[in-house]
Amino acid sequence: MSRPFYHFENFEARNSLGYLNKRLFTLISQAVEEIFADQELSFVQWVALVSVRDDVADTCAGIARHLGHDSGATTRMIDQLERRGLLTRNRCKTDRRVVRLGLTAQGRAVAKAMTPRVMTFWNAVLKDFSHAETTQLIALLTRLLASMEREVADQKNGEQEETA
């Protein structure tokens, strides 16, 4: 983008990406927790299983980072999923400090079993969008996420350089 989008005349809550994303996150969280209310598995636990299944994260720290949870709470959740036979922990052969997570057959089955509920929810939310619009929305959100991840990494690198 050659010139900034936001300026004092157009920056307000209803067109702020921060507000829109936070509001969506709140509504989505409430709705998906309801979808899982009658299950032994919570939505966050399902997301952890799917994150491992889809190679989004394969360590407890990676899941914590993607969920935005603290590592202690995430470790307790992973402990629970492991006790239930849904996840395994495997020490990395090249770096013994790293513990990789894997899904068991039962973990795959549980993740798969809940997927239709989540798909039904999203299909209902997207019913007023065409396939092309949905594809474009996903592409734009993916681009926004990549941009945000770069920005966060750049900020961390800048902070590290300042303290060095």
* Tens digit of pLDDT at every position of the chain (164 positions): 578 989 988 899 989 999 999 999 999 999 999 999 999 999 999 999 999 999 999 999 999 999 889 999 999 999 999 999 999 999 988 888 888 999 999 999 999 999 999 999 999 999 999 999 999 999 999 999 999 989 988 887 877 767 66
| pTM of the entire predicted model | 0.84
Distances in whole angstroms, Cα of residue 96 to Cα of each of 74, 99, 104, 115: 20, 7, 21, 34
pLDDT at 157: 80
Phi, then psi, of 88 in degrees rounded to 5: -125, 155
Crossing angle of the two packed helices 17-35 and 43-53, in degrees rounded to 10: 100
